[in-house]
Amino acid sequence: MDLFTTVIAFKLPHFVEINPIILSLARESPFLVVLFKIGVVLSVSLLLLSLYEFSQRSEFGKALFSGVFWGSFLSCIVLWLIAVHNVVLLILYI
């Protein structure tokens, strides 16, 4: 949903990207934004899978996996709220 709202907002004149990383990528090419956002999701997913395997071998691994998992989970909730906010703004604008 975040990727979808970002791509749509780039095409509209009244919306401004406030994330400096995404903004600099978008100035180069919107395709880079898509690659970046998909890359972040894949990277975190692969990290969690790797840490899950590691967590089966030690208590430290369990703690590390748990911390990264819950940090990612909370980040997803925040990103979901931002995406919902963006959808509401797009609906109100259109």
Give percent of the chain with pLDDT exceeding 70.
Answer: 100
Q: How confident is the model at residue 69 (pLDDT cuts 50, 70, 90)?
A: very high
pTM score, two decimals?
Answer: 0.76
Write out the H or E segment, with its range, that includes residue 90: helix 59-93
* 8 Å CB contact between 32 and 6: no
| pLDDT at 21 > cutoff 90 | yes
For residue 7, the model assigns a pLDDT of 83
Distance CA 66, CA 31 (A): 33
Read off the DSSP letter of residue 92. Answer: H
Question: Residue 33, exposed/middle/buried by CB under 10 A (0-12, 13-18, 19+)?
Answer: buried
For residue 54, the model assigns a pLDDT of 87
* 8 Å CB contact between 90 and 5: yes
| pLDDT at 94 > cutoff 80 | no
